Amino acid sequence: MTDMHRRDFLKIGGTIGVLHTSGCLRFQGGESTEEMESPDSDRATATETQTIGESTTANPSKSRKSSQKVDKFYLDHFDDGKLDDSGTLYARVNGTRTEINGTWQGDTSIMSNQACARYSFELIEDGSVIESSGQKPLIYGYQYVFAQSTDAAFITHQPSISADWERTLRLSYPSGEYEVTPDIQPDKGVFEFNFADSDVEPGRYDWVLELTPTDGYTIEIGTFLDQLIQVKPPEDSPFPNTSEARENAGAVSHSAATTVQPSQEASDGSLTIQDSGHGGGTGSDTTGRFLTRDVSIECPSGCTFGTESNRKFRINNLTSGTSLTFTTV
């Protein structure tokens, strides 16, 4: 393969299956005692896992303390936006990934109500908020399909993604590098890249669609997609016609979404939401791939958490006005 990129051997097709993009959240606790009201709504890698809340007799490797100082909390249960484990929260204790037993109560669809929403995170003790983050728009469970014709390429547009937010379609190797601002057709549920309206040279391109909510983190749709965009292909190429390609990409677009309002509070709380990069995988109950946007909520001093400390973690979806709370058992 001295003169050919490995992607040259990929089959070029008109449509690829349903995919999801999403995020895994990570939490870190602090020691602030300031009480804060929940805002009004708009509408680690480790080789060993311990467990908090189980007897050590049955499993000697389990945690021997019912409460420990936790420096990071992970939410690994929202890979495609859906809660897939109702009885576990993972945390980092002394550098070791630790399993905390408990229950999630509240809106278990909090991350899958719509692709983008505005969130905040809290640590609660005896009903009072003792640690809190600022607000941040986050994209979870972004379901999409890619399709193209000989005239244009289409990617699913979910209605919670505002036309005012920054969007860039990046094309690269083997035919050069370009940046394109795709059109949005909200009534069709697609982003559209019309080949005739651009100066992109004919050829095949890797692609990533970057979406950046106001005051949010950029998510890169297509990061793990094996499909190339073929710009201005021959007329006899085996692609569907433009109408069919557009319909294929728009088929998984949601019918409506609540508008995501700008953050109303700065991130000046005792917990800080921080970007941790991307990962990817395949959903167990979905076709294709999803993109994981790692986010951490950090405070370096740590927090006591477990069955002996009457504390809870709460996720607030400020767009839907719902919350989801984890309580240890």
DSSP per residue, 123-142: EEETTEEEEE---EEEE-SE
> For residue 82, which of 22, 42, 160, 158 has the smallest C-alpha distance?
22
Reading the block at residue 202, the tokens are: 């004919």
Residue 135: the pLDDT is 92
State the virtual CA torsion across 261, 265, 266, 269 in degrees, nearest 10. -130
Residues 13 and 225: their CA atoms lie apart, in Å, by 13
The region of weakest confidence among 70-84, 283-297, 307-321 is: 283-297
User: pTM for this structure?
Assistant: 0.80
In the block, residue with structure tokens 């490995």: 6
Contacts of residue 19, Cβ cutoff 8 Å, sequence gap at least 6? 143, 144, 145, 146, 225, 286, 287, 288, 289, 290, 291
* pLDDT score of 298 more than 50: yes
Confidence check: pLDDT of 7 > 50? no
Instruction: Say which residue, 174 or 27, is predicted with more confidence.
Output: 174
The pLDDT confidence band at residue 328, using thresholds 50, 70 and 90, is: confident
Q: 131-187 pLDDT, tens per residue?
A: 898 899 988 878 888 999 999 999 999 999 999 999 999 999 877 899 999 999 999
CA–CA dist 313, 329 (Å, integer): 13
42 has a pLDDT exceeding 80: no
Whole-angstrom distance, CA of residue 101 vs CA of residue 326 = 9
Question: Rounded mean pLDDT of 222-242?
Answer: 89
Per-residue pLDDT band at 126 (split at 50, 70, 90):
confident
* Per-residue pLDDT at 106 exceeds 90: yes
- Bigger pLDDT: 276 vs 133: 133
Backbone angles phi, psi at 242, to 5 degrees: -60, -40
